[in-house]
Amino acid sequence: MNSRSLQTTIIFLVVGGILALSLGGFFGSASRQFGSILIDTQTWLSSRFLGLQDFFTAPRDIVSLRTRNAELEAQVSQLQAQVIELQQRVNETEILAALVDFSRSNPESTYKAAAVIGHDPSPFLHYIIINRGSNDDIRRGMPVVTNQGLVGRVDAVIADAARVQLITDPASAVNVYLQNAETSAVTFGSVTGDISLDMISQNKTVESGDLILTSGLGGGYPSDLPIGQVVTIRTLEFKLFQQATVQPAVDFSRLEIVLVITNFRPVDITPLEPLPSP
Amino acid sequence: MRNIVAFPLLGLAVILQSAIVSQVKLISGYADLPLLMLAAWALQERVKSAWLWAVLVCLMIGFVSSMPWLVVAAGYLGVIFMAQILQRRVWQAPLLAMFSVIFMGTLFIHLLSFAVLRILGTPFAFADVIGLITLPSLLLNMLFSIPVYALMRDLAHWVYPLEEYE
């Protein structure tokens, strides 16, 4: 055996011995210590590297984050606007659904829906402006309602808009019928927008909560349209008639969509009224 | 040509009055934006077209409102008249002049409206009108008069630049 073969044999024996010892668990503590030193070194190096990486790349990230933030904020405001628009549409749909129900339950009349687009500029008058006019066959005198009850009647018309006198207008008077008391009366508007009931016969007993409907007398409005309910009654013995305050069926402060009854033609009874004696 | 700005501006004012301002109520009264704009415009020293603006406002309001034309025309033209008189006398204190015109103008228009509507048969009670409509409207007009005056002064400076005026 030459020296080279002997050297190789010794190396094999040493390596094999080390392997056998390590497999036998004799090098456990030494390998753990060695491993932990390696891991600590690598951790230290890695953390320093990440720190340096952050240091060099952070400004670029802030810029991109700010851009992204601005994009997301714009998206959020866009979505908020969409939510508001959709809520508005839901409200409109609910109102329209109620109006459709109303028109289905009152098939004797034909209706044209209109949106309220304005009010009279003067605080003395209670008028609204709707977005339907003579192009939609709206004519002067046509009654305007919601699913809750009578709103008023068309006072003036142009091609694409009309002005409606509300029953709360101080100059408005509506002939009505008190359902429970079975008597006629007249409602009047006021500067505050409240409705009062007058011309109730002293012989009739009117109670709070009595339903007030249009009587159709005078030909200005169709009959049986709800106006409201009696709230309080004022009876004075020295007066010819009883008076009452009315809770309107329609919420006039939140009028958005109304229905114009297009198949009703008001009757002008002026020629039939007696002339004042000279 | 410079008065062309009156058409979109006053048109917008009447639309805002009808759609928004009339919904911002204090009791039963609300501010009168066209009145405020007219008064502020007429009080600007450089402005020479206040009467034209008043006529435009009368036409627009008369078209939209159910108020008789007489009330609208007499009311707004009367306000311009008051503003022009005061502008010559109280020119050193423009805001005082503005407050005075708004105060007198609001009272004038409301009293005129009350009188004409009463004659035409609308059953108004004077105390109700004063307490529920006129005084709240007066307060709102006074409140809005400062920003409207500032806006119209800037507009007057833009429409009538100083070098041309001098």
pLDDT tens-place values along chain B, 166 residues long: 677 888 999 999 999 999 999 988 999 999 999 999 999 999 988 888 889 999 999 999 999 999 999 999 999 999 999 998 888 777 677 888 999 999 999 999 999 999 999 999 888 889 999 999 999 999 999 999 999 999 999 998 888 887 655 5
pLDDT of residue A18: 83
Q: Which amino acid is at A5?
A: S
Segment A142-152 shows an average pLDDT of: 92
Q: How far is A192 from chain B (nearest CA, A)?
A: 6
**CA separation for the pair A127, A136 (Å, rounded):** 20
CB nearest A118 (choices: B18, B124, B125): B18
Selection from B44, A132, B40 nearest residue B57 by Cα: B40
Asked if B46 contacts B160 with a C-beta cutoff of 8 angstroms, the reply is yes
- The count of residues in chain B is 166
Q: Which residue of A has its CA nearest to B64?
A: A120
Most confident of A60-64, A205-209, A268-272: A205-209
Asked if A133 contacts A157 with a C-beta cutoff of 8 angstroms, the reply is yes
Contacts of B18 in chain A (CB under 8 A): 117-121, 129
**CA separation for the pair A249, A130 (Å, rounded):** 20
| Structural domain total, chain B | 1
Q: How far out from the chain centre does Cα A89 lie? A: 7
Interchain pair B32, A190: CB under 8 A = no
Report the DSSP beta bridge partners of residue A154. A164
CB nearest B132 (choices: A122, A129, A191): A191
Contacts of B27 in chain A (CB under 8 A): 192
Q: How far is A121 from chain B (nearest CA, A)?
A: 5
SS3 readout for A219-241: HCCCCCCEEEEEEEEECCCCCCE
Q: How many CB atoms are closer than 10 A to CB A42?
A: 10
Residue B124, chain A, CB below 8 Å: the answer is: yes
ipTM: 0.90
Contacts of B121 in chain A (CB under 8 A): 171
A270: its two tokens: 């002026």
Looking at the structure, give the CATH architecture of the domain made up of residues A111-266. Answer: Beta Barrel (2.40)
Q: How far is A180 from chain B (nearest CA, A)?
A: 29
Asked if B51 contacts B77 with a C-beta cutoff of 8 angstroms, the reply is yes
Residue A277, chain B, CB below 8 Å: the answer is: no
pLDDT of residue A91: 87
**CA separation for the pair A126, A134 (Å, rounded):** 22
A32: its two tokens: 């753990």
Q: How many CA atoms lie within 13 A of A31 on its CB side?
A: 10
Contacts of B28 in chain A (CB under 8 A): 123, 191-193
**CA separation for the pair B66, A72 (Å, rounded):** 49
Contacts of B35 in chain A (CB under 8 A): none
Token look-up 């839901």 returns A90
**CA separation for the pair B144, A119 (Å, rounded):** 20
Residue A120, chain B, CB below 8 Å: the answer is: yes
CB nearest B128 (choices: A118, A122, A191): A191
B36 versus A1: the higher-pLDDT residue is B36
Q: Which domain holds residue B74?
A: 2-165
**Helix B94-119 vs helix B135-159: crossing angle, to nearest 10:** 130
Q: How far is B157 from chain A (nearest CA, A)?
A: 29
A35 versus A251: the higher-pLDDT residue is A251
pTM higher than 0.80: no
Residue A34 vs residues A30, A39, A56, A155: alpha-carbon distances, Å? 6, 9, 33, 100
Q: What is the dihedral of CA A154, A155, A156, A157, to 10 degrees?
A: 10
Contacts of B133 in chain A (CB under 8 A): 123-124, 191
A278 versus A191: the higher-pLDDT residue is A191
Token look-up 């429970």 returns A180
Alpha-helix runs per DSSP H in chain A: 3-23, 28-105
Contacts of A191 in chain B (CB under 8 A): 28, 124-125, 128-129, 132-133
Residue A115, chain B, CB below 8 Å: the answer is: no
**CA separation for the pair A273, A86 (Å, rounded):** 53
Interface A–B counts its CB contacts (< 8 A) at 80
Q: Name A205's Cβ contacts closer than 8 Å, sequence gap at least 6.
A: A181
Interchain pair B14, A156: CB under 8 A = no
Q: Burial of A51 by CB count in 10 Å (0-12 exposed, 13-18 middle, 19+ buried)?
A: exposed
Interchain pair B66, A192: CB under 8 A = no
**CA separation for the pair A150, A223 (Å, rounded):** 10
B116: its two tokens: 């004409």
Token look-up 């055996």 returns A1
Segment A164-186 shows an average pLDDT of: 91
Q: Name A5's Cβ contacts closer than 8 Å, sequence gap at least 6.
A: none
Mutate one of A120, A122, A128, A251 to test the B interface: name it (highest B CB count within 10 A): A122
Q: Burial of A261 by CB count in 10 Å (0-12 exposed, 13-18 middle, 19+ buried)?
A: buried
Report the DSSP beta bridge partners of residue A174. A187
